[in-house]
Structure 1
Amino acid sequence: MRTVIGAGGQTKLTDGPAKDRWQLNSRYLRSLSVSNLLRPYRAQAGLWSYSGSWGTTIGAAANDGPENWHWGWESITCELRGHILGHWLSAAARIGRQDAEVAARASTIVAELAGCQRANGGRWAASIPPTYFERLVAGKPVWAPQYVVHKTLMGLLDQYRIAGNEEALSVVSAFAGWFHDWSGKLSREQFDDVLDQETGGMLEVWADLLAFTGDQRAADLVDRYDRPRFFEPLLAGIDVLTNKHANTQIAEVLGAARAWEVTGVQRWRDIVEAFWDGAVEARGTYCTGGSSCGEVWQPAGEQSARLHAVQEHCLVYNMMRLAAVMFGWTGDRRYADYWERNLVNGIWAQQHPDTGMPAYFLPLAAGSRKQWGRPTEDFWCCHGTLLQAHASIDEAALYVDGAGISITQYLNSVTTWPDLFGGGVQLTIAADSEEGVVLGQRQTLHGAAGIQELLSRPLPPRRPNHRVYVVDVRCDRPSRFELRLRVPSWAVGAPMLEIDGESVPVTVDDGWIVAAQVWSRQRIRLTVPSGLSTVRLADRPDTVAVLDGPVVLAGLTSQEPILFGEADEPASFLVPDQERQHSWWRTGTYRTVGQSTGIRFVPLAEIRDEPYTVYFPMRAQRATDREMP
């Protein structure tokens, strides 16, 4: 099994589009105050109250009125209140490796949660009351209490796993005692009824707790949080996905994946593989790589009637997590390709490039507009997964096993291993934005110098039709290992490889170039040819979306005009447009030719508030063209 790199703190993003997105997210995370994040927890523990009257509100709370509070799903009256803190802790565990202030605030929050737990009697540590679980068992209306508690447990476990906070693990262990007692009082049928309501990732946190502690209570909870009503039909090949709540089911399957890693019981892995087959391989995805519409799975092979509320952000994030897990199990390139397409056309496309706010859905219908959340007035679930997704963006880029290192994503970064293959190893990855194209690239010092210095290396005369990745390998001592480079499925020709400036014969095996040698101080240069391609709607094959490499393009129009040209040859109706901006190449900018109305195309990930259309009906030629002699 391969090990994902990043969670140990060895990877740091360097200047480039991924770091830009990471920094946007980090600024948002830092903008959320400790007092607001903790408010529902302290209120539940009897440690905070507010009357609105200076005569009865005591202490600092008197100056902390509702105008400063979190609202939306974090409103003190909402049954989901407190969910965002768990996401925040998870993201802060990662961001805190590079930001001491964030790390300190996270430690403060963990200590405060421990204080709330003590005030609640030593076990309960949630932002909602235990009575919500009584309502759940009784079948009375209540909004996803297990989902809310899962977020708290997840955030605490990430603080332990990544930040090394022992107190966080102690809080979870004590809280697990409450869940062990509560669930132990219910019959299997009663508990299955409970699990038919949204459970979040509770199975995953119990598997994590079992891995960290070996506690028998955690093992019991893993068994109890099994989902036979969902998992058994899934294993039998029955469709239990169509029109079901997608983000609920992926969270449960991530729990099965973690349970397999911890217990080794094959059934858990079989569940995961059956789910992937049903959710992705047999069902198909949209051009973005995403799935679901209106929070539920679309029918297999049917997309055209469900383009209005595509790919809930949370589902994109969780499916990417599963793809990363399955790549770690198998090394199969398709999971890395899936992860990349969803990063570019999901996680990045659903983060506002200027404000950093999330879009709950990514509509793909004609004339769509993205609907952006607000910093403190909404707090959808997607605000939470936004925090996590961008904080963990580096964690699926590199994998290590006993034979070598796999580079799955070419994100500008530096990764250091203090002891790997007999010594220290460092990999620096950078996309060359002068010789190749890079989505989201902006001005660099190198690029600015390149347009001034007449004796510097000449620039390509026009926008390159390839992407160039430079990998620098540095070893403390000469070390032999494999360096495996992913050749993406969107490559339109044979890649080229240079090591220290010398061309190297290339063999691509199952999507990988394997360079096995003694490494010390080498520079690798990988050139991957890219170009335009189209993806057809599964149930309307005359309607296509256009991609530039892995990047989905959107037409800046509020209409759904018919485009004339060859559907499988986008160059028959699109030509480069606005390809150069000062000192960098603009990626994915095109305009139509030979059409009655001109339309500009840009990357979907760069759309802000403009109306756009992604899928276009195609015709080979106009009727008037056929009538001409």
Structure 2
Amino acid sequence: MTRAEPLPLGAVTLTSGPFARAQQRALRTALELDPDRLLAPYRRESGVPTGPGYGGWETEGLDGHTLGHVLSALSAHAAGGSASARDRVELLLTGLRECQMTLGTGYIGGVPDGVALWHEIEGGWIEPQTFDLDGRWVPLYNLHKVLTGVIDATVYAESALGRTIATEFVAWWIRVFAPISDADVDLILRTESGGLAASLARWADHTGDEDAATLAARLAVRALWEPLAAGRDPLDGLHANAQIPLVVGHAVLARQGRGDEFAAAARTFWESVTQHRTTVIGGNSVREHFPPRDDWSSMFTAREGPETCNTVNMVELARELYRLDGKLEHLAFIERALSAHILSMQHPDHGGIVYFTSHRPGHHRVYSRSETGFWCCMGTGLEAPARFAASAFSTGPGQLDVNMLLGSRVQWGDAVVEIETERPIGDDALLHVTVPNPGAFVVRVRVPEGVDAERVEAHIAGAVHGPGPDGWLRIDREWHGRTTVRLVLPPVIRSTEAPDGSGWVSLVDGPRVLAERLAGPPVDPLATDARMGHIARGALLPLADAPVLTPEDLTAARRTDEGTVILPASATRREVVLEPFASLHDDRYVLAFPYARDGDAAGRRADLAAEDARADAVDARTIDVVTFGQQQPESDHALALADSESGYDEGSHWRRFGAGSTFVLQDWGAAAATMRIGWLGDTSPRRLVVRIDEDVAADVRVAPTRGQDAIEIDLSGYADGRARWSITVSGAEAGTPRLSEARLMSAPIV
């Protein structure tokens, strides 16, 4: 089996082009963060005197996660030669080491009351929810971030202090889990654990620590890998980014030869996600969850499209699978995801990061502010640019592979390889190879997707080389001094349909995913510091207003001298001007177009108008909504759980409550008139008691039924101009129905 080994990050420096510029912008953003505020949660939890930390998620239960991301990002920059990054890494490590030594156990963490958590677990108190363990928000996920950070400081920044901290922290993990039974480990792993297993396996890679590798395999979530290893697809409705890091761990364990079942699981997951659940930009998920693989309708109607974290972690999975299997599809995915989604998620001017990239026509995105929010995607968005080159070059005996053309300088033994290119904004590239002494070796350049393969050429010293049937341009020669290779990569315009076969299509020109920029209505491109500020709250435009494309339209697409692509006006729609999505910021856009495969644009538009009418009956009246059974909506609405269970059936997430659980709905305009609570049918009688503040607003006995139902609660008796509604739901002994959502509305649904 082919195993391609990537060049280390320290051997590659990005020098020019969009990726280099984005990398430097991310470095500036990371260095602008105050190290004392990043360290504050760790100092607080270890008893070291501290000042205030950051706000947002850093004070809402995920305290300390950002420092782990920043350590990983700066360690990668340090590997590339940044002295400022290296100095900041050592400063953060010094602060962490003080906390670690104060506690004296090897533990470090910013999890609120985190030290006590592990005493509770050791004492047998294990109460897991999907995103909550003993009342703490995803503590394993949180701790894995700083574990990964100190490992990256060891591996990339070659920090001796990082190695000391990581060694003691890994030993703490091993010691804590040693007495826990397998049954209790499975119970703990019901709560999102992030890339904990992958990080421990990577540590074993670097140090040979077999105890760490054994624990990594033990922390592989059986409920996920068993069905995947058997070739089954269990992903419908699952929280997408709770699964992807787990599968990265499977791939690392498989590469280490620790079980064929892990390799099978990783390959099944990869096939399911990339072939059936991935959009044109390489992203996946709606509202953070995998939609049904055969029904993508929500992808093109929701505000919350693919999450940045998901795509970054899928790139990590592709990198691991390429090392395992050596398939070009892994490299093609990396190039598409980096060029379209990851390059676009960072604002080129102020460095803000996008959480959700909506695929709804005419919607928009919002970017983080520098010192608020601190969502997961902010941290991941700082990391990803630092590792743009992590899989760009691979090497074997006498051979250098150029997997992705980036403006860069590569040190490969005595040879220096320099690439000049503006890809993905431009097309062609120059490759310069400099050797101090003559020598024979092979340089292979992967032929990118989206080019006219018959016209791809490499011009070198008067000779012309074409690609082979294996998808590589192979240059096998004796190299002298400085040699220039001119790569000609003619782009082609092509279309990509939604993977479920529904009527949506996107266009791609060479390496560039295209989108139409819309002039209005205006939007605020910066996220607010509210709990749900990462969601783009601008008005939803009617789906029927989007241009409907036909096969004839796609064949008429033409490229202009300005670098845009034009779809000329037709009898059924206006002219469409498309530009690279990666450089489209601050405005509304159309990334996915309604598609009439049969040529009936009028019929497709009528269907969209009917969908608009159905949505208007609910969405136009909705002020705020919480979807039960989904992590982020529940967290955003401060759901305090007591005696509940959750699941996914009939295409809907749900949660059943026993004892009283409380959540908050926001009404910034004080316009609420009614609250609608919906549920799925059940085979047993249930009870739903709803309290507003302490008053019983509804007490409903629900008979066994099929299908879905709802109640609406008149809020006129509470019309006191409030902006915040505290709601408690309970089900007495019978439990509530399987609640799907609660909506605060400006008017009842007639």
Measured against the shorter chain, the TM-score band is: 0.7 to 0.9
Superposed displacement of residue 300, structure 1: 1.9
Which of 440, 457, 464 is 1:497 aligned to? 457
- The correspondence of residues 4-23 of structure 1 with structure 2, limited to 5 A, is 4-7=6-9, 9-23=10-24
Aligned position for 1:268: 262
Distance in 1, matches of 2:159 and 2:254, equals 25
1:593 aligns with 2:575: no
Which string of whole-angstrom CA distances, capped at 9 and with x for unpartnered residues, describes residues 61-112 of structure 1? 5xxxx5xx4211112xx22110011111111112124321221121121122
Which string of whole-angstrom CA distances, capped at 9 and with x for unpartnered residues, describes residues 198-237 of structure 1? 0011111221222333334324412321322211111112
Aligned position for 1:305: 298
Moved more, 196-205 or 536-545: 536-545
Q: Is the 8 A contact 1:328 1:399 kept in 2?
A: no
Aligned position for 1:130: 115
Moved more, 524-533 or 125-134: 125-134
Aligned position for 2:345: 350
Q: Is the 8 A contact 1:289 1:345 kept in 2?
A: yes
Distance in 2, matches of 1:221 and 1:498, equals 48
Aligned position for 2:729: none
Q: Is the 8 A contact 2:505 2:593 kept in 1?
A: yes
Aligned position for 2:63: 81
Which of 459, 470, 473 is 1:513 aligned to? 473
1:412 aligns with 2:407: yes
Distance in 2, matches of 1:183 and 1:604, equals 46
Superposed displacement of residue 329, structure 1: 2.7
Secondary structure of 2:347's partner? coil
Distance in 1, matches of 2:204 and 2:595, equals 54
1:607 aligns with 2:552: no
Which of 357, 361, 364 is 1:366 aligned to? 361
1:380 aligns with 2:375: yes
Aligned position for 1:112: 95
Name the aligned partner's letter for residue 292 of structure 1: S
Seen in structure 2, the aligned counterparts of structure 1 residues 164 and 552 have a Cα distance that, compared at 3 Å, is same
What is the aligned-residue RMSD (CA, Å)? 2.3
Moved more, 373-382 or 544-553: 544-553
Aligned position for 2:681: none
Superposed displacement of residue 41, structure 1: 0.8
Distance in 2, matches of 1:214 and 1:618, equals 53
1:193 aligns with 2:176: no
Seen in structure 2, the aligned counterparts of structure 1 residues 24 and 623 have a Cα distance that, compared at 3 Å, is closer
Distance in 1, matches of 2:450 and 2:188, equals 44
Distance in 2, matches of 1:546 and 1:279, equals 20
Distance in 2, matches of 1:603 and 1:105, equals 35
Superposed displacement of residue 566, structure 1: 4.7
- The correspondence of residues 18-167 of structure 1 with structure 2, limited to 5 A, is 18-49=19-50, 61=51, 69-75=53-59, 78-96=60-78, 97-128=80-111, 129-133=114-118, 134=120, 137-139=126-128, 140-167=134-161
Name the aligned partner's letter for residue 337 of structure 2: N
Seen in structure 2, the aligned counterparts of structure 1 residues 480 and 320 have a Cα distance that, compared at 3 Å, is same
1:2 aligns with 2:7: no
Name the aligned partner's letter for residue 369 of structure 1: H
Which string of whole-angstrom CA distances, capped at 9 and with x for unpartnered residues, describes residues 374-408 of structure 1? 21110111111111100111111111112411111
Seen in structure 2, the aligned counterparts of structure 1 residues 540 and 236 have a Cα distance that, compared at 3 Å, is closer
Seen in structure 2, the aligned counterparts of structure 1 residues 562 and 85 have a Cα distance that, compared at 3 Å, is closer
Gaps of 5+ in 2: 129-133, 519-540, 604-750
Superposed displacement of residue 488, structure 1: 1.9
Distance in 2, matches of 1:202 and 1:395, equals 20
Distance in 2, matches of 1:86 and 1:121, equals 20
Distance in 2, matches of 1:404 and 1:301, equals 43
Seen in structure 2, the aligned counterparts of structure 1 residues 591 and 225 have a Cα distance that, compared at 3 Å, is same
Which of 273, 281, 290 is 1:288 aligned to? 281
Seen in structure 2, the aligned counterparts of structure 1 residues 542 and 226 have a Cα distance that, compared at 3 Å, is closer
- The correspondence of residues 435-454 of structure 1 with structure 2, limited to 5 A, is 438-440=423-425
What TM-score does the superposition give when structure 1 sets the normalisation length?
0.84
Secondary structure of 1:137's partner? coil
Distance in 2, matches of 1:353 and 1:16, equals 12
Name the aligned partner's letter for residue 86 of structure 1: G
Distance in 2, matches of 1:27 and 1:151, equals 21
1:567 aligns with 2:544: no
Distance in 1, matches of 2:336 and 2:74, equals 26
Superposed displacement of residue 531, structure 1: 2.3
Name the aligned partner's letter for residue 466 of structure 2: V
Superposed displacement of residue 341, structure 1: 0.9
What TM-score does the superposition give when structure 2 sets the normalisation length?
0.71
Secondary structure of 1:470's partner? strand
Superposed displacement of residue 490, structure 1: 1.3
1:392 aligns with 2:387: yes
- Percent identical pairs in the alignment equals 26
Aligned position for 1:616: 593
Seen in structure 2, the aligned counterparts of structure 1 residues 226 and 190 have a Cα distance that, compared at 3 Å, is same
Aligned position for 2:536: none
Distance in 1, matches of 2:159 and 2:601, equals 66
Distance in 1, matches of 2:162 and 2:509, equals 45
1:426 aligns with 2:416: yes
Aligned position for 1:453: none
Secondary structure of 1:529's partner? coil
Aligned position for 2:173: 179
Secondary structure of 2:225's partner? helix
Seen in structure 2, the aligned counterparts of structure 1 residues 526 and 235 have a Cα distance that, compared at 3 Å, is same
Distance in 2, matches of 1:366 and 1:38, equals 41
Seen in structure 2, the aligned counterparts of structure 1 residues 512 and 600 have a Cα distance that, compared at 3 Å, is same
Seen in structure 2, the aligned counterparts of structure 1 residues 234 and 325 have a Cα distance that, compared at 3 Å, is same
Aligned position for 1:447: none
Superposed displacement of residue 591, structure 1: 5.5
Superposed displacement of residue 343, structure 1: 0.8
Name the aligned partner's letter for residue 430 of structure 1: E
Distance in 1, matches of 2:458 and 2:207, equals 47
* Structure with the higher strand share, 1 or 2: 2
Name the aligned partner's letter for residue 260 of structure 2: Q
Seen in structure 2, the aligned counterparts of structure 1 residues 223 and 331 have a Cα distance that, compared at 3 Å, is closer
Distance in 2, matches of 1:538 and 1:214, equals 42
Which string of whole-angstrom CA distances, capped at 9 and with x for unpartnered residues, describes residues 451-495 of structure 1? xxxxxxxxxxxxxxxx21111111222222221111123113413
Name the aligned partner's letter for residue 11 of structure 1: V
Name the aligned partner's letter for residue 480 of structure 1: A
Q: Is the 8 A contact 2:347 2:367 kept in 1?
A: yes
Name the aligned partner's letter for residue 138 of structure 1: E
Q: Is the 8 A contact 1:400 1:406 kept in 2?
A: yes
Q: Is the 8 A contact 2:311 2:342 kept in 1?
A: yes
Distance in 2, matches of 1:158 and 1:610, equals 36
Which string of whole-angstrom CA distances, capped at 9 and with x for unpartnered residues, describes residues 254-299 of structure 1? 1122223334543332222122122223x24212122211111222
Distance in 2, matches of 1:81 and 1:566, equals 50
Seen in structure 2, the aligned counterparts of structure 1 residues 507 and 600 have a Cα distance that, compared at 3 Å, is closer
Q: Is the 8 A contact 2:419 2:429 kept in 1?
A: yes
Name the aligned partner's letter for residue 31 of structure 1: E
Superposed displacement of residue 569, structure 1: 5.7
Name the aligned partner's letter for residue 278 of structure 2: T
Q: Is the 8 A contact 1:38 1:82 kept in 2?
A: yes
Which of 243, 247, 258 is 1:249 aligned to? 243
Aligned position for 1:484: 444
Secondary structure of 1:305's partner? helix
